[in-house]
């Protein structure tokens, strides 16, 4: 079966790498792809914003499965267009993709389905948002409703910051994403990510992860798309995962189904583990980046078969996803300047394969025969180990062999778990 993979980041490199290991996978095409992805796939010269062109390519190359990696094409309706053309697509239609495309949509769905989440109010004008501030304690969370590449969330510590954030959003500071604003109660707890696959009827768990969103060590500085991640997330115990499935994921899928917006693909739930149990922070309608990279390092099944079963509505009959009983950890190497304006064109070397690890390309390009950085997040250096401490050690040993002088990375990915592992070693008298 020929497969078309849409996207060009580290997430898609990890998917391409895993798809290519499937006996089902014939020719794998990527649009637009990147130099790492091209080690596994052929470049498809199509503009993914041109939905007719994507459909024409799929007909011409007899594509049996289309996987849409990023959220923007899904929110833009690429899934609907290809499904209408009779193709098997992994990724939701435009209406259910609003789970990521509109924060207000998700909050209202939580209300209808009784899903635990932060209290909120929705506003389409500045005056009503400012007036509603009085109903929230500080800090208060202020969100641009639409897609804002992870930047549309402001945690205001005082009234002045809150008012400035609201003014900025309605003033166009976040483009169209800020035409509507959501105010939210601030939740406290540890964050974790949970993934589930669904064809709209059957739902299966697809692992957990934790990422580090802040650019600086000790989780300080501005937010980024994620500077590193590990899987599984030990804080998300089996009992908590069951709660997340029962109270958050299943009611979401069932409610969307009842309301004629059946969800197909991966649901990525960002969770706050509060004193009152897990609560939903947000949904994404695609895999996390770089969370996907660590999930793919641990997933032991046939990814093409599983994604095809989701796309065709046959998930009930598919093999249950299995994961290696070990930890995978990825360190993001970013270009200097990220998450502001990243330096472009920096040379990269030292990416020779290393046993037990994998370096995924996120923002790279070939220029005059040389590999260079062209994005903010450039490489995802990924390793496995018996626990987070071991996986972290292996990942940084790989990082140290990469030659990327215009890049940087955090040196503490996984620190929370490493501390807990150290603590439990102390408590057990040195025995783990």
Nearer to ligand GLY among residue 27 and residue 151 (C-beta): 151
Strand order in the sheet with 42-43: 42-43, 28-32, 2-7, 63-68, 89-90
Give one DSSP letter per residue of 332-356, joined into a string.
EEEETTTTSSPPP--B-B-----TT
Report the alpha-carbon distance of residue 294 to residue 336 in Å, rounded. 24
Taking the complex as a whole, the smallest distance from the CB of residue 371 to ligand GLY amounts, in Å, to: 24
289 touches ligand GLY by CB under 6 A = yes
184 touches ligand AMP by CB under 6 A = yes
225 touches ligand GLY by CB under 6 A = yes
415 touches ligand AMP by CB under 6 A = no
291 touches ligand GLY by CB under 6 A = yes
288 touches ligand GLY by CB under 6 A = yes
User: Tokens standing for 365?
Assistant: 């390009």
> For residue 366, what is the DSSP state?
E
User: Residue 211: which of ligand GLY, ligand AMP, none does it interact with, CB under 5 to 8 A by kind?
Assistant: ligand GLY
The residue from 18, 94, 212, 213 that contacts ligand AMP (CB under 6 A) is: 213
- Residues within window 19-78 making contact with ligand GLY, judged by CB under 6 A: none
With CA atoms as reference, report the closest residue to 303 among 327, 283, 323.
323
Nearer to ligand GLY among residue 81 and residue 143 (C-beta): 143
Does residue 28 contact residue 304 with C-beta atoms inside 8 Å? no
361 touches ligand AMP by CB under 6 A = no
Nearer to ligand GLY among residue 203 and residue 227 (C-beta): 227
Neighbours of 100 (CB within 10 A): 23
Q: What angle do CA 123, 146, 183 make, to 5 degrees?
A: 35
Report how far Cα 373 is from the mean position of its chain's Cα atoms. 21
Report the alpha-carbon distance of residue 139 to residue 104 in Å, rounded. 20
118 touches ligand AMP by CB under 6 A = yes
186 touches ligand AMP by CB under 6 A = yes
Nearer to ligand GLY among residue 211 and residue 241 (C-beta): 211
User: Residue 301: which of ligand AMP, ligand GLY, none does it interact with, CB under 5 to 8 A by kind?
Assistant: none
Q: Burial-class residue 260 by CB neighbours within 10 Å (0-12, 13-18, 19+).
A: exposed
Binding site for ligand GLY (CB under 6 A): 211, 225-226, 284, 288-289, 291
């Amino acid at each position: 079966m020929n497969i078309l993979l849409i996207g060009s980041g580290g997430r898609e490199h990890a998917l391409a790498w895993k798809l290519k290991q499937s006996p089902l996978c014939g020719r794998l095409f990527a649009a637009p792809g990147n130099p790492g992805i091209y080690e596994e796939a052929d470049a498809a010269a199509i503009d993914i914003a041109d939905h007719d062109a994507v459909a024409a390519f799929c007909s011409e190359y007899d594509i049996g499965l289309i996987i849409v990696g990023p959220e923007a094409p899904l929110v833009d309706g690429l899934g609907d267009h290809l499904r209408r053309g009779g193709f098997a697509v992994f990724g939701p239609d435009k209406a259910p993709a609003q789970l990521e495309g509109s924060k207000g949509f998700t909050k209202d769905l939580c209300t209808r389905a009784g899903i635990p989440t932060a209290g909120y109010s929705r506003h389409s004008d500045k005056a009503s948002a400012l007036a509603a501030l009085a109903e929230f304690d500080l800090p208060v969370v202020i969100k641009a409703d639409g897609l804002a590449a992870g930047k549309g969330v402001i945690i205001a510590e005082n009234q002045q910051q809150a008012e400035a954030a609201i003014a900025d959003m309605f003033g166009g500071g976040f483009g169209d994403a800020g035409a509507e604003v959501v105010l939210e109660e601030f939740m406290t707890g540890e964050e974790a990510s949970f993934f589930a696959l669904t064809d709209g009827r059957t739902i299966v768990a697809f692992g957990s992860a934790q990422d580090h969103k802040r650019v600086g060590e000790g989780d300080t500085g501005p937010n980024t798309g994620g500077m590193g991640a590990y899987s599984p997330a030990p804080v998300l115990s089996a009992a908590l995962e069951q709660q997340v499935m029962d109270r958050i994921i299943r009611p979401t899928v069932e409610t969307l189904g009842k309301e004629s917006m059946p969800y197909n693909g991966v649901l990525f739930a960002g969770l706050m583990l509060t004193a009152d149990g897990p609560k939903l922070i947000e949904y994404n309608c695609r895999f996390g980046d770089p969370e996907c990279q660590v999930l793919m390092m641990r997933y032991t099944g046939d990814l093409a078969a599983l994604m095809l079963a989701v796309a065709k509505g046959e998930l009930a009959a598919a093999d249950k996803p299995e994961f290696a009983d070990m930890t995978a950890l990825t360190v993001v190497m970013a270009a200097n300047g990220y998450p502001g304006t990243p330096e472009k064109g920096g040379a990269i070397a030292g990416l020779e394969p290393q046993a037990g690890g994998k370096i995924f390309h996120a923002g790279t390009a070939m220029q005059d025969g040389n590999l260079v950085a062209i994005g903010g997040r450039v490489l995802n250096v990924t390793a496995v180990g018996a626990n987070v401490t071991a996986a972290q050690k292996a990942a940084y040993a790989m990082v140290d062999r990469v030659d990327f002088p215009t890049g940087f990375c955090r040196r503490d990915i996984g620190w929370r778990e490493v501390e807990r592992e150290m603590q439990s070693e102390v408590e057990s008298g040195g025995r783990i």
